[in-house]
Amino acid sequence: MKVTYHGQSCFIIENEAHRIIVDPFLSGNPNACITPDDVDVSHVLLTHGHADHVLDAEAIARRCDAVIIAPNELANYYGDKGLNIHPMHLGGKHDFPFGRVKLTLAFHGSGIETENGFIYVGPPCGFLITMGGKTLYHAGDTGLFGDMKIIGQLNDIDVALLPIGDNFTMGPEDALLAAEWVRAKHAIPMHYNTFPLIAQDGVQFASDLKAKGIDGIALKVGESAEF
């Protein structure tokens, strides 16, 4: 499994045969090093409806004829636009050509901003993605919650992608606990340094993880790690 970070909470996850993207936020991200037109994927996974997670979902899905995987209400929002969708919901899992996806809890909000206000698009989620025998946990936007311990007990998680930006999500201190609770072998920080309000030191977070016996990897935008 190859994991490439594209800023905020956006990752491309791939192996020799398949490539997917999670939470595409490229055209509005000042740190992004690619554009939506550079993305070639079969599936687009969305954790929730906020713009910094879905801004480029429609454009990528339409151009690639990709399937959007998201919580039911959010998926159907895009289905009404004529896009290919696979609605899911919290606790559910499904096998796709690239591997298995299971939706986990995430404690946050989810709405799409329009000129007439926000449209509620169901609850947010995290993803457990199994591809090529490896399991990745993308926590989505969330605070720390006790059921992360259960996620760790029930799943053999190779790598966890954890928000550390604080203010809107967990900060670094809580994210360290999350990494321990989900029993991740490796952990990568996300959802930080895109805007001044969520500025954090990803390198320090990775160092703090290593002090706890977890391989912390602070990827720069555009960098990859293989598991």
Using a 10 angstrom Cβ sphere, with 0-12 exposed, 13-18 middle and 19 or more buried, the burial of residue 138 is buried
- Specify whether the CB–CB gap between 152 and 137 falls below 8 A: no
Model pLDDT for residues 53-67, shown as the tens digit of each residue:
999 999 999 999 999
Residue 223 lies in a domain: no
* Arithmetic mean of pLDDT, 30-42: 97
Residue 163 lies in a domain: yes
pLDDT digits (tens, 9 = 90+) for 7-30: 999 999 999 999 999 999 999 999
Confidence (pTM): 0.98
Domain count, the chain: 1
Q: Looking at residue 199, what is its pLDDT?
A: 98
Query: Does 226 reside within a domain?
Result: no
227 lies in some domain? no
Distance CA 162, CA 180 (A): 11
Question: For residue 11, is it within any domain?
Answer: yes
Give the CATH number of the domain where residue 78 resides: 3.60.15.10
Structure tokens at 62: 């339409």
Residue 20 domain flag:
yes
Decide if 50 is inside a domain: yes
Contacts of residue 42, Cβ cutoff 8 Å, sequence gap at least 6: 18, 19, 20, 64, 66, 67, 97, 98
Percent pLDDT > 90 in the chain is 97
Q: What is the mean pLDDT of residues 135-143?
A: 98
**Minimum mean pLDDT among 36-45, 114-123, 160-169, 207-216: which range?**
114-123
Q: Give a yes or no: residue 116 inside a domain.
A: yes
CA–CA separation, 113 vs 52, rounded Å? Answer: 11
Domain that holds residue 53: 2-218
Q: What is the pLDDT of residues 62-85, one digit of tens each?
A: 999 999 999 999 999 999 999 999
